[in-house]
Structure 1
Amino acid sequence: MTITAPRELDELCYLTAQSMTSLVTSEHFKLIKKLGEGSYGKVMLAVHQKRGTPMALKFFPRRSTTLQAFLREYNLSVSYCTHPSLTRALGIFYSTPSHYVFAQEAGLYGDLYDVIVSEEGVSEECSQRVMSQLSGAVSHLHSLGFVHRDIKPENIFLCDCACRWVKLGDFGLARAQRTKVRAVWYNSPFCVPEVECAKRVSDAEEETEDIWMSVEPSLDTWALGILIYCLLTSCFPWEETTSDDPSYCKYRDWFNRIKQREETQDTVREENEAETDVAPQFDSLSSFVLTLLRKLLNPLPWLRPGPDEILSYLGGPWLLKTEKEELRREQEAQVEAKKMHERGGVEGEKEILGRRER
């Protein structure tokens, strides 16, 4: 991990603040349609009036966005998002009386959320292809010393209709590693279990002090694990990552049971039993990908691996039905090999075929 990039980012924000210009959007761009909208503002598909270049213009309301926050996201995107699966700013930024605006690469085919909730869903092969790209993108950010902190399907944009190329975007919450931020709980499975204490604070009627936490790569690791589940099942594993959610509790109990068996080095028979008593929302997934998910979704953040752990699980079966089909084919091949061995191997098989021909 490098510590120079976050320092350079602060310097870039200072320098670009000196060169901020004011423009009238309609004099330079033709707005086509709205691509997205959120708490940050909105994103519009636009075409440059002179060059005809398509791009996405991201509008930040000045009344709710500080200049520092705007320049931080812009400079991070334009200077450090050099990985092919990170959305990059295009070097155009300006202000209007009501908004701060910068241009970025346009995701012309929507976002991953639209694909996940569609009738077709996402295939097993496509899921692995998407996660391979995102693993590299997030590892790149981490190597520079940044944590994204907002990985979710709505922030993953498609460069084609078949998800052959995706890009992670929206760096508004990205922060340097090890910095302290206020712990904020929100109702989503992407919210990590270590901020459950912040929910207790928000639920308390009397005023309490804020809880602060360190920005760590493990935050992104957890989000990638949830994303894998979403891709394979088209739904969430639980509603909120707290002890109040029955589905999360079932997962946590299953996780702890397997952990105890591994620590006590139980027999193969008991390991097989661990596969059968899997948390019910995971019963359509293969034992292969469940091993990966137990690593990414470890309730203890310091035990979660980096995003590149995903690369070790590409190519194998991620769905239970695929795993069973591969096992069936393997068993058939073993039976066939045994028959050939009993008939004297390949040479014996050739001799038998030769007799039949005569």
Structure 2
Amino acid sequence: MGPAIPGPLQLSHSHIPGPGSSLGMDPGPRTGMGTGTGPGATQAPGINAEPAAGIGPETLSHGPGGGSCGAGSPQVWGREPHKRPPWGWDPQSPMEPCGEEEEEEEEEDNEEILERLMARLDRDLRQRELEEGFTVLRELGSGSYGSVLLTQPRDGGSPVVLKLLRKERTARRAFLWEYCVSQCVSAHAACLRALPIAFETSTHFAFGQELAPVGDLCELLRPGQGLPEAQVKLCAAQLAAALDFLHGRALVHGDVKLDNVLLFDRQCRRVKLADFGLTRLQGSPMGPIPSPLPYAPPELCSLRGSQTLELDPSLDVWAFAVLLFCLCTGCFPWAVATETDPGYEEFRAWQHRGDAGAVPAAWGEIGAAALGMLRRLLSLDPDRRSPAMEVHKYLELPWGVQGGGAESGAE
């Protein structure tokens, strides 16, 4: 077996320092594929680092499968609702530029669209103290980045989840970027919906998002015990669709992990990909990460010094496959994807051999069909890595997963 995942596991935004460590709330910086310095430490690649002048997000279509959490008025808190403007895409398909453009032009258009949204939000964002508009019901999670709170609007309506980012750790543009990207991907049924609520306090930036009542995937896993096959496949299908949606719009999530998959029921009939603070445009440069997580692909773990690579959907696919392995086994396949890690080195040798004979020990409980799928998603060559939607070819085949970590019963 690989490095075990301790449990029980808690809500999102956790950090996994290595094998044998908790996946609960991390008191340190929020991280992506490696330890970072919080959501505000770096500017969104490809975006002018000069601060924009001010902003007010438009209300996007929530698309199919919208969330269960009401948001009150569709507006930037404290302002009148905006009428839908001509943004250059159909709200039913956010980030889809109008007209038939070449692929290179579409990527540029997406950057321009996000810049325009960020400028609007920056202009219209109002400062209000939290207690003026909301009563805090309870804290859902916290870390050095800030906190996630369940709140009740003082003017009535359904409870609202507010994500609060500490200004001392979060650059203004990083907040604008995260919120605008979150709204742009909200139309997809498997992406967590950002609510049309955004404001700043004297100490925090804040925006609303729908409530996932069960928490994240960590809530279901126990050390060394995977989920039942039916639940693993439900997660795989929905997350593959979410990633396909992002990648089709030249976006790389950059933080695919158990903690960032939120649940709406314990049977995984409805799960959503969350936390788009590290999402970047495809092609954005990324440098070495000081302490990679198990989800980081080998091409990222091998960077040194001033070396960079261009962000590509294949990075998300690798992390997605590691996540699926965790769901199948209750373990990570390795602590870090480098040759110094015995679990990864055994896997790398198996991939190079190209045969199904001597399966690495940690992979022995996974069936042949699922092994074949994971080998394609975890190709050592990023250019040969299968897209996330590859999993749909395997959903009707047996995966040989015998997990029983999920609890059934009330949702």
Structure with the bigger RCO (C-alpha within 8 Å, sep 6+) is 2
* TM-score (structure 2 length as normaliser): 0.70
Are the equivalent residues in 2 in contact too, given 1:182–1:213 (CA < 8 A)?
A: yes
Query: Displacement, 1:52?
Result: 2.7
2:122 is aligned with 1:26 = no
The amino acid of 2:260's aligned partner reads: N
What whole-Å deviation, never above 9, does each CA across 1:329-350 have from its counterpart, x for those lacking one? Answer: xxxxxxxxxxxxxxxxxxxxxx
Q: Tell me, which stretches of 5 or more residues in structure 1 are unaligned?
A: 202-208, 259-273, 323-358
Determine the C-alpha separation between the residues in 2 that align with 1:57 and 1:28: 12
Match of 1:234 in 2: 330
Query: Displacement, 1:6?
Result: 2.7
Match of 1:299 in 2: 380
2:279 is aligned with 1:174 = yes
Q: Percent identity?
A: 33
Are the equivalent residues in 1 in contact too, given 2:347–2:360 (CA < 8 A)?
A: yes
Match of 2:360 in 1: 279
Q: Residue 107 of structure 1 is aligned with which of 190, 196, 212? A: 212
What whole-Å deviation, never above 9, does each CA across 1:262-289 have from its counterpart, x for those lacking one? Answer: xxxxxxxxxxxx4331111100011111
Determine the C-alpha separation between the residues in 2 that align with 1:150 and 1:11: 25
The amino acid of 1:14's aligned partner reads: A
Match of 1:244 in 2: 340
* TM-score (structure 1 length as normaliser): 0.80
CA-based RMSD: 1.8
Query: Displacement, 1:108?
Result: 1.4
Q: 1:321 to 1:41 in 2, by over 3 A?
A: closer
Q: Residue 147 of structure 2 is aligned with which of 31, 42, 46? A: 42
Determine the C-alpha separation between the residues in 2 that align with 1:275 and 1:216: 28
Match of 1:326 in 2: none
Q: 1:212 to 1:276 in 2, by over 3 A?
A: closer
Instruction: Give secondary structure in 1 for the equivalent of 2:302.
Output: helix
Q: Tell me, which stretches of 5 or more residues in structure 2 are unaligned?
A: 1-102, 404-411
Match of 1:313 in 2: 394
User: What does residue range 58-207 of structure 1 map to in structure 2 within 5 Å?
Assistant: 58-117=163-222, 121-198=226-303, 201=304
Query: Displacement, 1:321?
Result: 6.8
Give every structure 1 segment of 4 or more consecutive aligned residues whose post-TM-superposition deviation is greater than 4 Å.
Answer: 118-121
Match of 2:70 in 1: none
Deviates more, 1:236-245 or 1:209-218: 209-218
Q: Residue 290 of structure 1 is aligned with which of 354, 371, 386? A: 371
Q: 1:48 to 1:10 in 2, by over 3 A?
A: same
Are the equivalent residues in 1 in contact too, given 2:225–2:329 (CA < 8 A)?
A: no
Match of 1:263 in 2: none
Query: Displacement, 1:24?
Result: 1.6
Determine the C-alpha separation between the residues in 2 that align with 1:12 and 1:121: 41
Number of aligned residue pairs: 298
Determine the C-alpha separation between the residues in 2 that align with 1:276 and 1:147: 34
The amino acid of 1:300's aligned partner reads: D
Query: Displacement, 1:163?
Result: 1.4
Deviates more, 1:41-50 or 1:142-151: 41-50
Greater helix share, structure number: 1
The amino acid of 1:245's aligned partner reads: D
Determine the C-alpha separation between the residues in 1 that align with 2:252 and 2:220: 25
Query: Displacement, 1:100?
Result: 0.4
Match of 1:6 in 2: 111
Are the equivalent residues in 2 in contact too, given 1:6–1:146 (CA < 8 A)?
A: no
Query: Displacement, 1:317?
Result: 0.9
2:351 is aligned with 1:255 = yes
